Amino acid sequence: MTFLPIISDDLRYPDGSELAPLIGERAVALFSYAISDQNDCLVCSVHFRRALIENGEDPDSPQVTQAEQLLIDWARLIAATPHAIPAEFYTRLETAFSPQLRVLLLEFAGQLVATNLFCTVGKVSLDEAMFDYRKPGDTRIE
């Protein structure tokens, strides 16, 4: 049962256009996918899986730079344990990214977490055109 009559293509995902010039579109997609995947948001994670796949990436084992891995790790921590991010990890973030960039990344992450929550709690169904982009073995539609 779909609680909200919305399909994935009608959703407005947070716009990473401010981040892309600073970290690259690929890094924005990796960061976004990591948040959505960690939150187990089917609609959002599949949206970002598609973006990665259509750009020749393997979302399940991407070849990443050190900065991209830091972004992926931070994304997963934001989604899984926002109250328990280790001080050492913050030190790594401070070394790698300017204060302004950290603020933009966190602002974007917060918007994406809210979108994940909306889709999950609202039981937003995955558009049939997106089925092939789900993780192997995942047959969920919402």
* pLDDT band of 17, cuts 50, 70, 90: confident
Question: What CATH topology corresponds to 16-129?
Answer: AhpD-like (1.20.1290)
Segments making up each domain of the chain, as ranges: 16-129
Q: Which helix (H) or strand (E) holds 90?
A: helix 87-96
Q: What is the pLDDT of residues 93-109, one digit of tens each?
A: 999 999 999 999 999 99
Q: Which pLDDT score, from 0 to 100, does residue 132 have?
A: 96
pLDDT band for 81, please (50, 70, 90 cuts).
Answer: very high
Higher pLDDT, 73 or 8: 73
How confident is the model at residue 99, as a pLDDT?
A: 96
- Contact (CB, 8 A) for 34 and 75: yes
Q: One-letter amino acid identity for 106?
A: L
- Could you report the per-residue pLDDT of 18-57, keeping only the tens digit for each? 899 999 999 999 999 999 999 999 999 999 999 999 999 9
Dihedrals phi, psi of 7, to nearest 5 degrees: -105, 160
Residue 60 is which amino acid?
A: D
What is the reported pLDDT for 5? Answer: 46
- Its pTM stands at 0.90
C-alpha–C-alpha distance, residues 46 and 132, integer Å: 9
Burial readout 95-117 (b: 16 or more C-beta within 10 A, e: otherwise):
eebeeeeeebbeebbeebbebbe
User: Using an 8 Å Cβ cutoff, are 70 and 93 in contact?
Assistant: yes
DSSP 4: S
Residue 142 is predicted with a pLDDT of: 85
Q: Give the dihedral of Cα atoms 59, 61, 62, 63; nearest 10 deg.
A: -170
Q: According to the model, what pLDDT value does residue 16 have?
A: 78
Model confidence band, residue 12 (pLDDT cutoffs 50, 70, 90): low
Q: What is the pLDDT of residue 84?
A: 97
